[in-house]
């Protein structure tokens, strides 16, 4: 039985495969990351087989994802946005402006 995460990833791959303009288009990084995120739950060969990619391709994606800087999560982005607004408000107040 396939987990929701694997099924969702497979569905995303199918949508991309059916809508890409040419066979030579590279797999989008978001799909690569989704595939690699399955690794703690599935073996590399199970992921490759389910997504119909080669084991070597999965291995390259896994190495790429390990070397990428961590992307801020939604929560981190929200936190940074709130800090920026608070900082801007304080700066405006310091200049005699209103909230």
Considering only CA atoms, which of 9, 64, 14, 73 is closest in space to residue 38? Answer: 9
Q: Tokens 């949508």 correspond to what residue?
A: 15
- Contact 53/85 with Cβ under 8 angstroms? no
Asked if residue 76 and residue 51 are part of one domain, the reply reads no
Asked if residue 47 and residue 23 are part of one domain, the reply reads yes
What are 9-28's pLDDT values in tens digits? 999 999 999 999 898 899 99
Asked if residue 75 and residue 86 are part of one domain, the reply reads yes
Asked if residue 80 and residue 49 are part of one domain, the reply reads no
- Which residues have a Cβ under 8 Å from the Cβ of 42 and sit 6 or more positions away? 6, 50
Asked if residue 63 and residue 25 are part of one domain, the reply reads yes
Asked if residue 76 and residue 52 are part of one domain, the reply reads no
Instruction: Please indicate whether residue 1 or residue 59 has the higher confidence score (pLDDT).
Output: 59
Asked if residue 40 and residue 20 are part of one domain, the reply reads yes
Domain count, the chain: 2
What are 23-80's pLDDT values in tens digits? 889 999 999 999 999 998 999 999 999 999 999 999 999 999 888 766 544 444 454 4
Range of the domain at 86: 70-99
């Amino acid at each position: 039985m396939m987990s929701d995460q694997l099924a969702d990833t497979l569905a995303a791959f199918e949508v991309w495969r059916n809508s890409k303009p040419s066979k030579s288009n590279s797999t989008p990084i978001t799909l690569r990351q989704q595939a690699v995120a399955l690794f703690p739950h599935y073996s590399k060969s199970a992921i490759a087989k389910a997504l119909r990619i080669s084991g070597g391709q999965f291995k390259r994606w896994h190495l790429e994802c390990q070397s990428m800087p961590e992307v801020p999560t939604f929560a981190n982005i929200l936190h940074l946005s709130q800090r920026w607004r608070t900082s801007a408000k304080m700066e405006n107040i310091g200049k005699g402006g209103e909230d």
